[in-house]
Chain A
Amino acid sequence: MSRPRRVVVVGHGIAGLTAADTLRAEGFDGELTIVGDEPRPAYSRPALSKALLRDIDDLASHTLPPSDHGAVELLGVRATALDVGRRRVVLDDGETLPYDGLVVASGCRPRRLGAEAATGTGPGTGAGRRDDALALRNLDDALALRERIASRPSVLVIGGGPLGMEIASGCLDAGCDTTLMSLGPPLLDQLGRWLSDLLVDAARARGLRILPADAPRPPADLVVTAVGDVPNDAWLGSSGLLGGGRLVVDSRGRVRQDVVAAGDVAAFPSTDGPRRTPLWTSAIEQARVAAAALLRGDDAVPYRARPYFWTEQFGLSVKAAGVMPAAGDPVVVDGTGDACLVQWPGAAAAVNYRIPVPRLRRLCETAVA
């Protein structure tokens, strides 16, 4: 295949940034343009619901080192359509960008509850106004949430996944009376019973009230929803690239020869079929593969999913590698109680326990003693 001379990267999160870096590292010296819908450089998204929410004095926990890929950065601009025949990306400012290689890294956005479900019932919620519920995805969301919780409102968090639990933890730390509503036990679907119990116990000990999702909604000054995410692929709607409503890529991140995708928007092959993995390290690893495939095609090394996930909440730092949710009780490899290294068949986790990721990964691949 001929190497592209003009590459456009749509998306300026860690996937888009990593793709741009990788293109340069792989020797691409052509024209490189990055389109980002936020009017700012890329930042660390995991920090938004962790350090940025918790450490009220630290406004820099999300900053990343400045880039050196030398791309033209079009920020505060959104891609609205893609014409794969004429190889053009259409932007919402009326411009069109020609390309001969395209990286789709447009990420995802929070899933919103329907208007009925998001209707606040308590004081200060302006009953019926759907936009009263905050969600946390980008830096503006995080700064808005920080500002709101500084005055210690009562908070209702809807959603018992990692994001909802991190938000609840941050609200409690800020001194807010905090309730979380969850469909089933928090974190059970993502992490399995053992880690779910551990984190839920720590949350309750710190004063988190947990209610089932179908319970009557308690009154709250502030409602925050964290009920999953939706890929930003509407701009690809007329491109013909979406299969079954999803952006499905091959093991090298390719949608077609001149279009690759990575990060939260892309469904990579997995043992359960094409799947999105909206995690920081997955976005980085996918972007490396996709950028290499755009330049070298089949010679690029295929993506191998090696999920790594971490969360910080309620005084616990949990790092997990391998297949989650993990079933049953783990074997404790080292440590005890609230600071330990544990192992399941095919998975491992470190709780308040510092361990290099390569070692944690090796533990996933080692037979449980």
Chain B
Amino acid sequence: MRIVLDRPRCEGHGLCEEAAPALMHLDDDGELVLDREELGDSETAAANAAVRVCPVAALRLS
């Protein structure tokens, strides 16, 4: 499973970082950086939480 970021949609709320700090973070410019794109089974729950919390649906799993 992978995380996919729709960058133009991202507004930099960073709620995803809070939900899955091991998988993503906002850099110093407030741009979202995916630290891990390919996910192991143990990371799916955190990734789902990050996807769900985004109010502009900029993240999805594929």
Contact = CB atoms under 8 A, between A and B. Distances in A.
B28 to A, nearest CB: 10
Interface residues of A, number: 30
Contacts of A319: 13
B35 to A, nearest CB: 13
A25 B42 CA distance: 11
A355 B55 contact: no
Interface in B23-45: 25-26, 29-31, 45
Contacts of B51: 65
Contact of A358 (B17, B52, B53): B17
Contacts, number: 68
Contact of B15 (A62, A65, A357): A357
Given A65-B51, A65-B60, A354 B17 contact: no
Contacts of A25: 45, 48-49
Contacts of B52: 17-18, 21, 64-65, 284
Contacts of A61: 9, 56-57
B22 interface: no
A43 B61 CA distance: 17
Interface residues on B, range: 20 to 34
B57 A21 contact: no
B61 A355 contact: no
Interface string A167-183: 00000000000000000
Contact of B11 (A60, A281, A317): A317
Nearest to B26: A356
Contact of B30 (A18, A280, A356): A356
Interface in A309-326: 310, 317, 319
Interface in A36-64: 44, 46-47, 51, 60-64
Q: Which of A65, A353, A356 has the most CB of B within 10 A?
A: A356
A308 B18 CA distance: 12
A44 B57 contact: yes
Q: Which of A62, A284, A360 has the most CB of B within 10 A?
A: A284
Nearest to A288: B49
Given A65-B61, A68-B48, A281-B15, A355 B30 contact: yes
B27 to A, nearest CB: 9
A50 B25 CA distance: 25
Interface in A133-153: none
B26 to A, nearest CB: 4
A47 B56 contact: yes
Given A44-B55, A61-B56, A65-B51, A355 B14 contact: yes
A344 B11 CA distance: 24
Nearest to A45: B55
Contacts of B15: 281, 308, 357
Contacts of A308: 15
Interface of B: 9, 11-15, 17-18, 21, 25-26, 29-31, 45, 48-49, 51-53, 55-57, 59-61
26 contacts: A21-B49, A25-B49, A44-B55, A44-B56, A44-B57, A51-B56, A61-B56, A64-B52, A65-B52, A65-B57, A65-B61, A68-B48, A284-B53, A308-B15, A354-B29, A354-B30, A356-B12, A356-B17, A356-B25, A356-B26, A357-B14, A357-B15, A357-B17, A358-B14, A358-B21, A360-B14
Given A60-B57, A354-B31, 14 more contacts: A21-B49, A25-B45, A44-B56, A47-B55, A61-B56, A65-B57, A65-B60, A65-B61, A284-B53, A310-B13, A355-B14, A355-B30, A359-B14, A360-B14
- Pairs of residues from A and B, 6 with the lowest C-beta to C-beta distance, nearest first: A354-B30, A356-B14, A354-B12, A356-B26, A357-B14, A46-B55
